[in-house]
Structure 1
């Protein structure tokens, strides 16, 4: 059997509606088949913590092989997977169409889905994943909530750590008093008047983070797109379901997919492109949903009509030319390529976008930040997340650039915290939440 495959990687639909998907004996057999291949290869040793945990289990087993590892110990391997997809997209030589048919992240997802089917799973985790509900409620008291969740507020953070399991050291997302959708409604007529009218129209899928936590990235995106002739609207019909996917709640993700697809396809029918403002959400719309609901025509239609934000700006530059008027960004930029951007298999679009800047000085970091969505906030995970992300933090901290940015809003903050932990005496680069904000700044737009 040759190592690797010459064909492009492909993924099979998730068979989550088949009762055999949740059969524990068949799941254990598949775990052992895949883990044995991973143990023999070990190419992923330096990605997330799942693989070191697996290899340590094997090395400590009486036979030093998988046959003497207890199935009950597999849970620690599953718990460390952040569904970043980097093993599938960048490392594994045995992904489909190779006959070994290895899809490690989706196997971890199957394990979690089986736990959910059996009534397991944390009540607290479930509540944290209700991002739409939480965003609407917490936004009503945003200043108080932001004060209470600040890392400097040791009393409330220690309580939150004990009650919700969120590490007191982890920087949590802040909340906005006014959602992005509300701010957009107030400015749509004005900002669309600024668009020169090159024929492009796009609807921005706000995403939970931009809508409830930090609207600045969405506002910057609208301003840049308007400068480049794109009329825009902003909507947020529902969460994309990524927080639920991380927990294995596939059925709930499918419900979210149907709600969002119905709403966004109405815009596609009116001639609008769909732009997702966060790579994880773009990945869901473009790739994960079609694997969960492969026969759904609405899902297929939305998948083919969706763009990642950086991807869309680069497409404008290639086909129409980027609008003039940008000034150089002094001091240079350290750019982290988000894992879920890489998983979209579209190339380094954020790098291409920032190289549109005059006299562009971009240092690219194409490695996982270690955060892994909500996983990195949790007690017991935060220190692991810092360890996994230390190479990125070290590169950014020692790179001598004025700014550090990531397409992933959680990764950017985590990298910034990692730089602090290094204790370097070099000037710390200023955090910019998304590369699009540097493009806006180059146009003289501050949001």
Structure 2
């Protein structure tokens, strides 16, 4: 049975433009109020490293009371939050509309926003958050960059660890030679005019990762949607700002939201649905942006017309049905990514793969441990590996032919941890569930 409040969680707009939001005394008082509630509940002890750090901090103190802790002791708790939203969405019984009005992730976000405003965001965090710039440079010099970032490179990786704090053992994504949006024009298949959903149009939001790094989900999505009669185009106006959100740079996120909402607004006017390849980006479009810019009608409208990729395919299936899917007898282990769960739309990847005759999908709802850039940092990598192990153990119980996840960062991380434990027994790829549907169609 799923834990949580008896009523659906609701969220308040983020008051990042108010002076009180950055008042450090008021933040400290709210941290202590919330931490005291968490200390008395402890339901979230196994979600991420924030809560074990908090509970150890309290238990190891002289009085075991939150009120007696020094404010500077809270920093490790705040740093460990990956903004996965799982405590808010599935665990905490005290989220709004409960009178305790507890939103742990957005409180951690507020703390980071104050830190960011004071100029305390580290150089590595700032540079890693410039994903569009990094992607453009990475694709321009892909051969050199991929050599430099390859784990096992004894020249560059120790230097990256020393200067940037990135663990030398952590997998870093490779860059493609050409961004997906630049090569998709000739590659986008024509819609199948005999398919049941012909007449529907989708603008695929490539996202930074799908545009510059792993293009396989995007290519699979284009083929699957076109085969089902959807006229597609691939777009990447700008990064969604999730890496900036992790840094507490709310002004930067707002600028990203305004830019993307304006460009996608023109496509919405022309009848396009907006479909994000990455769950984190879908979460930003649908939920975080409207809370950051609640008075921006373009942002609100984009949220109403945005879909997660798996959600969109399931919607097509419910609307007019999918084009017939050939039988493919396979067991598929699905890692239900945190930002897929946080969208509050249910296990859409599971529903999508049920449309493949003969397929046997099974699902594991647990954090992979990667958490955006959190898991690649030297201080966190070993913890990220530890968190991935029970996910892998549960995925393997069904002896799957394929393992998939909607999170493009979780996939390589799970694969790497499997390689560390099992070597040759690890799968060649842990990709997006859309790739399995594309494979069933014969693409």
TM-score by shorter chain over 0.5: yes
Residue 10 (structure 1) aligned with residue 20 (structure 2): no
Give the stretch that moved more between structures: 193-202 or 126-135. 193-202
Aligned residue for 2:378, secondary structure, equals coil
CA-CA distance at 1:272 after TM superposition = 0.7
Give the corresponding residue for 1:247: 247
> Residues of 1 paired with 2:340 and 2:84: CA distance?
10
Give the 5 Å matches for 1:30-429: 30-188=30-188, 190-192=189-191, 196=195, 198-330=198-330, 332-423=331-422, 427-429=425-427
**Is the contact between residue 432 and residue 438 of structure 1 (CA under 8 Å) also seen in structure 2?**
no
Deviations 1:214-272 (A, max 9, x none): 11110110000001110001111100000000000000000000000000011000011
> Residues of 2 paired with 1:219 and 1:422: CA distance?
31
**Is the contact between residue 257 and residue 289 of structure 2 (CA under 8 Å) also seen in structure 1?**
yes
Deviations 1:393-422 (A, max 9, x none): 222345421211100010011111222233
Give the stretch that moved more between structures: 164-173 or 249-258. 164-173
**Is the contact between residue 242 and residue 280 of structure 2 (CA under 8 Å) also seen in structure 1?**
yes
CA-CA distance at 1:429 after TM superposition = 3.4
> Residues of 1 paired with 2:204 and 2:55: CA distance?
43
Give the corresponding residue for 1:440: 438
TM value normalised by structure 2: 0.96
**Is the contact between residue 195 and residue 231 of structure 1 (CA under 8 Å) also seen in structure 2?**
no
> Residues of 1 paired with 2:4 and 2:270: CA distance?
44
When residues 20 and 315 of structure 1 are mapped into structure 2, their CA distance, relative to the original with a 3 A threshold, is: same
**Is the contact between residue 396 and residue 404 of structure 1 (CA under 8 Å) also seen in structure 2?**
yes
**Is the contact between residue 205 and residue 275 of structure 1 (CA under 8 Å) also seen in structure 2?**
yes
Aligned residue for 1:295, secondary structure, equals coil
Deviations 1:36-77 (A, max 9, x none): 000000000000000000000100111111122111110000
CA-CA distance at 1:329 after TM superposition = 4.8
Aligned residue for 2:95, secondary structure, equals coil
When residues 194 and 444 of structure 1 are mapped into structure 2, their CA distance, relative to the original with a 3 A threshold, is: farther
> Residues of 2 paired with 1:439 and 1:329: CA distance?
12
**Is the contact between residue 396 and residue 419 of structure 1 (CA under 8 Å) also seen in structure 2?**
no
Give the stretch that moved more between structures: 202-211 or 431-440. 431-440
Give the stretch that moved more between structures: 165-174 or 192-201. 192-201
Give the stretch that moved more between structures: 262-271 or 428-437. 428-437
When residues 18 and 182 of structure 1 are mapped into structure 2, their CA distance, relative to the original with a 3 A threshold, is: same
Give the stretch that moved more between structures: 149-158 or 352-361. 149-158
> Residues of 2 paired with 1:23 and 1:47: CA distance?
29
Aligned residue for 2:415, secondary structure, equals helix
Q: Is there any run of 5+ residues in structure 2 with no aligned partner, and where?
A: none
CA-CA distance at 1:192 after TM superposition = 3.7
Q: Structure 1 segments of 4 or more deviating over 6 A?
A: none
When residues 194 and 169 of structure 1 are mapped into structure 2, their CA distance, relative to the original with a 3 A threshold, is: farther
Q: Is there any run of 5+ residues in structure 1 with no aligned partner, and where?
A: none
Matched positions, count = 440
CA-CA distance at 1:82 after TM superposition = 0.3
> Residues of 2 paired with 1:4 and 1:183: CA distance?
45
TM value normalised by structure 1: 0.95
> Residues of 2 paired with 1:327 and 1:158: CA distance?
48
**Is the contact between residue 242 and residue 253 of structure 1 (CA under 8 Å) also seen in structure 2?**
yes
> Residues of 1 paired with 2:316 and 2:307: CA distance?
12
Deviations 1:90-109 (A, max 9, x none): 10000000000000000000
> Residues of 2 paired with 1:200 and 1:326: CA distance?
23
CA-CA distance at 1:162 after TM superposition = 1.2
CA-CA distance at 1:318 after TM superposition = 1.0
> Residues of 2 paired with 1:329 and 1:153: CA distance?
40
CA-CA distance at 1:4 after TM superposition = 7.0
